[in-house]
């Protein structure tokens, strides 16, 4: 196995033995470099405008998320997010590649596992650097990172 990061993983049991693998659609390889991270435009390249975009959360702090109920949607001046169980909403502003999220409103259901919500919320509470290329995006703050792919 390489140190490359792929968006898809698989686990297969054969004769009681676990095999793990990873991969991606062929279009993925046109958007990532040899290290598996999104190709970045040249320094000073285009700023990613988040307004009116929808994203699926792929991982939080390097841990893959389930395929459903993990998203961030950006309206012109508000955002909505879900990191598994509860829904979050907040105003936001974007200056260049820096995202600042305002006061967050959230539902408060008791959930069996709150780790993704706790980590994702902590990342958004700090000034966030937005980076990426094509249909992949990374939100990074002092609290960690959220990897996203653009929702269809």
pLDDT in tens, 28-80: 555 555 555 555 544 444 678 899 999 999 999 999 998 888 999 999 999 99
Nearest to 6 by CA among 125, 150, 106, 149: 149
Cα radius of gyration rounded to whole Å, the chain: 16
Locate all alpha helices (DSSP H) within 2-101, ordered by sequence.
none
Nearest to 79 by CA among 115, 104, 98: 104
pLDDT, tens only, 9-34 = 778 788 888 887 776 665 555 555 55
Tell me the pLDDT band of 147, cut-offs 50, 70 and 90: very high
């Amino acid at each position: 196995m390489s140190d490359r990061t792929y968006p898809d993983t698989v686990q297969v049991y054969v004769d009681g033995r676990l095999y793990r693998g990873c991969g991606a659609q062929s279009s993925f390889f046109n958007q990532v470099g040899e290290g598996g991270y999104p190709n970045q435009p040249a320094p000073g390249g285009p700023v990613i405008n988040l307004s009116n975009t929808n994203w699926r959360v792929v991982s939080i702090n390097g841990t893959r998320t389930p395929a459903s109920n993990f998203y961030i949607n950006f309206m012109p001046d508000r955002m909505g997010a879900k990191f598994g169980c509860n829904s979050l909403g907040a105003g936001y502003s974007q200056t260049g590649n820096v995202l600042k999220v305002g006061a967050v409103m959230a539902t408060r259901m008791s959930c069996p596992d709150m780790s993704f919500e706790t980590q994702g919320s902590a990342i958004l509470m700090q000034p966030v650097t937005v980076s990426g290329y094509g249909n992949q995006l990374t939100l990074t703050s002092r609290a960690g990172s959220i990897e996203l792919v653009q929702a269809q």
